[in-house]
Amino acid sequence: MRGYFGIGVEGVSKARNMGALMRTAHAFGASFTFSINAHPRVRDVYSADTSKAFENVPYYGWRKLDDMALPRGCQLVGIELTDDAIELPSFRHPKAAAYVLGRERGDLSEAMLERCSHVVKIPTQFCLNVSLAGALVMYDRLTVMGGFPTRPIMPGGPAPQPKVPVKHGPVRMRRPVEDEG
């Protein structure tokens, strides 16, 4: 898969949610994880991170939105259940993206929404757990950008492709060499 992505949460207050998101980000190949204005107890995130993502994926803990510094060309994508957000199945993921989710029992701040290049929603009837929502976004990115074949029309896996005959060109017969002796 070309490109890179990072994922994080604004105002996260539960260490286990952040730890689960970091572990999932590690599993999906995230380049970095982050938080903005996280509650101090989120520092206990190590207890929920069984994959040791901190040792394998950079983590940025920005105290406020103005401190957030993304790589040049990286588009910030807000994940928020709003009326005007793009539904995830219709969204084309940027090659370089940082996905940001809202805190538990809350939304992304207005300042964060203004900073986002895109706002995407998971088409559900109500909000999901922050780490589960992050997992769905990363899974969607993988299925769309991971180089997988298109889904078949019929139920089941992809249909086996017929073998294409290999053409070798004309066959030339050699005349046997006669022994002169």
Per-domain residue ranges of the chain: 4-145
Per-residue pLDDT of the chain (181 residues; tens, 9 = 90+): 689 999 999 998 888 888 889 999 999 999 999 999 887 766 566 665 567 777 889 989 999 999 999 999 999 999 999 999 999 999 999 999 999 999 888 899 999 999 999 999 999 998 899 999 999 999 999 999 988 888 888 888 777 777 777 676 676 777 777 766 5
Tell me the whole-structure pTM to 2 decimals. Answer: 0.82
What local confidence, expressed as pLDDT, does residue 127 receive?
86
pLDDT in the model for residue 76 = 98
57-75: b (≥16 Cβ within 10 Å) or e: bebbbbeeeeebebeeebb
Give the model's pLDDT for residue 24.
94
- List beta partners, residue 7: 33, 99
- Angle CA 85–110–64, to nearest 5: 125
Contact 81, 127 (CB under 8 A): yes
What pLDDT is recorded for position 73?
Answer: 97
Pairing of β 96-101 and β 59-62:
unpaired
Fold entry, domain 4-145: Alpha/beta knot (3.40.1280)
